[in-house]
Amino acid sequence: DALDGVTITVGSKEFDEQLVLGQIAILTLQAAGADPVDQTNITGTDAVRQSLVTGQIDLYWEYTGTAWVSFLKQTERVTDPEQLFDKVKTLDAENDVTWWARAPGNDTYAIAANRAAAEEHGVTTISDYAELAKSNPEAASTCMGPEFNSRDDGLPGLTAMYGFTLPDAQRHEVNDAVVYTEVGSGKTCDFGSVASTDGRIPAQDLIVLEDDKSFFPIYNPAITIRTELATKYPGLEDVFTPIAEALDDKTLLALNEQVSVEGAAPEKVAADWLRDKGFIG
């Protein structure tokens, strides 16, 4: 087999979905005969991406919208997920990064609210939330992860499109994982930045606000791999494609939930799922 004994270094970001996706890649490569090296759990999108382009890692799962807005600095709104993937793939080729195996699942950034607070203030859309931030800023306290606080597809872009500002006193930067419990309890924050496939949204009974101005792009996970390696082992694409195709919203949420809510190990969650689906023996 062409992949026998080939060393491939797999990276991931630090949150649970990424840890599971990283283990899915590792186990898949192993089953294909390769010799994967685990470099998952790197903190921060920019750090993982940097590891890929400098060759410290060979591949990781990135999201189409993240690349489109954050890496490639595009402002055009592309609503068709396949078209977005194709455009990202074409542009990122210039950076010697190859995109394979788009998953249908969409792990979009979103604004979530404490249920009781949302009902009290009649907030169901981000426009409602923006209005609340203007008329009654104290009621619009928002917890967010460091990336959401700074990325173009995070708060800076969101406030620009929806035409509001969040006073510093109502803008709380915390670890991503802390946002869910903070908004669930409603102590520091009644609103927060979340990832839509995160199992803690149902677990904390949070309400996801409708993005009524379609600010957020589509975030389908896909394999990003150094083009040098992609060219050397083109057969790998077919190995990842059916696996990616099985990763829809429901599946991502169910996998994430096992780690974030039930405390299972990402490696076990990945292995059980791959076996259950017949992707590995």
Rule CB under 6 A: which residues touch ligand PBE?
A: 13, 45, 63, 66, 107, 109, 195, 219
Of the pair 23, 45, the CB lying nearest ligand PBE is at 45
Strands 97-100 and 221-226: antiparallel
Of the pair 18, 28, the CB lying nearest ligand PBE is at 18
Give min distance, CB of 219 to ligand PBE, in A.
Answer: 4
Task: Answer yes or no: are the C-beta atoms of 248 and 105 closer than 8 Å.
Answer: yes
Tokens (6 digits) for 225: 């791999």
Of the pair 107, 131, the CB lying nearest ligand PBE is at 107
Give min distance, CB of 198 to ligand PBE, in A.
Answer: 8
Tokens (6 digits) for 11: 């990276």
Residue position matching structure tokens 């930067």: 173
Of the pair 13, 89, the CB lying nearest ligand PBE is at 13
Give min distance, CB of 35 to ligand PBE, in A.
Answer: 27
Give min distance, CB of 75 to ligand PBE, in A.
Answer: 17
Of the pair 79, 122, the CB lying nearest ligand PBE is at 79
Of the pair 45, 239, the CB lying nearest ligand PBE is at 45
* The three-state (H, E, C) secondary structure of 169-191, written as one string: HHEEECCHHHHHHHHHHCCCCCE
Give min distance, CB of 231 to ligand PBE, in A.
Answer: 26
Strand partners, 222: 62
Give min distance, CB of 13 to ligand PBE, in A.
Answer: 6
